Amino acid sequence: MKHISFESLKEWFGYTRRERRSSFILLLLIAAVAGIRFIVPNHNMKVEMLPGVPVEMVLDTIPGRKLSAGYQTNQRAKTRQTVKALDLNSCDSVSLEALPGIGPVLSARIIKYRKLLGGFASVSQLREVYGLPEETFNRISGMVMADSADVIKININYADYQQLIKLPYFERYEVTAILKYRELQGRLNGIDELVANKLISDETANKVRPYLDF
C-alpha cells in the first residue's frame, strides 16, 4: 500500500503546525455549540419585545409555558367587561333562550312572571320563577341584571283590590286589611306605617317595597 504523505497536504493548504492546531480547536468549538442547541431544551430562548405588548403576553406564547395566573385573571376580567349583562326587564324570549339552561318553557315563564311583578327589582327574583332550578340560576345570575328603574309601581293610596292582589307577594287578607285601614285612616304615608299597624309582615314589606308608591 502506498504511504500517504501529510507533508503534501500541509503544503497544499499552506498551514503551519500552530495554524492547524488553532483550526482544529475552532472546529471542535463549532461542533460543541451546534450540539448544545440540539441537546439543551430551548426554554431560555431570547424573547424580542414588541412595543405596547405586555411581557406576560409575549412569554405566554412560548410553547410549553403555562399561562401566568395574573395574565389569566386579567383576561377573564377583560372578558367580563366586554360582555354586557342581559337586562331582565327589557330582553325578549330569544335573548333569554340564549342563556345556558333556559329553553322556550322557562323563557316564557320568566317573561310571564316579569309582567305579573311589573318588572324585576333584583336578579334574585329569578329564583321565584316556577321550575327554574337553583343550578341554572347559579349559572346565569352573573350574566343578567335587573334595572329597578324599569319597575312599574303601584300607588297604594289609589289602587283597588285587583291591582294590589296582582302583586304576588300580597296575601288576600293583607290587601283587605290595607284597603280597610286606608278607608278608616285616609292616606297612607309609607310602608313602615303598614308594618307598624300589623297590616303586613316585615318579610312582605321587604318584598313589596320596590313596587309601591305612597
- For the chain, first and last CA: distance in Å? 122
Residue ranges in the chain whose pLDDT is less than 50:
12, 43-53, 55, 57-59, 61, 71, 78-82
Give residue 59's pLDDT: 47
Give residue 27's pLDDT: 78
pLDDT digits (tens, 9 = 90+) for 126-143: 999 999 999 999 999 999
pLDDT digits (tens, 9 = 90+) for 90-108: 999 999 999 999 999 999 9
Q: What are the angstrom distances between the C-alpha of 40 and each of 30, 36, 63?
A: 16, 6, 15
Q: What are the angstrom distances between the C-alpha of 51 and each of 58, 70, 75, 140?
A: 11, 20, 19, 39
Give residue 29's pLDDT: 77
Residue 18, amino acid:
R
Q: Where are the chain's structural domains?
A: 6-39, 86-150, 154-213
Q: Kindly state the cell numbers that stand for 202.
A: 316585615
CA nearest neighbour of 159 among 107, 83, 214? 214
Residue with cell 303598614: 194
Beta-ladder partners of 154 = 212
- From CA 174, how far away is CA 203, in angstroms rounded? 13
Q: Residue 210's Cα: distance from chain center in Å?
A: 27
In CATH, what is the architecture of 86-150? Answer: Orthogonal Bundle (1.10)
Residue 210, amino acid:
P
Beta-ladder partners of 200 = none
Q: What are the angstrom distances between the C-alpha of 22 and each of 13, 16, 17, 29, 55?
A: 14, 10, 9, 11, 43
- From CA 193, how far away is CA 195, in angstroms rounded? 5
Give residue 25's pLDDT: 80
Identify the three-state secondary structure at position 87: strand
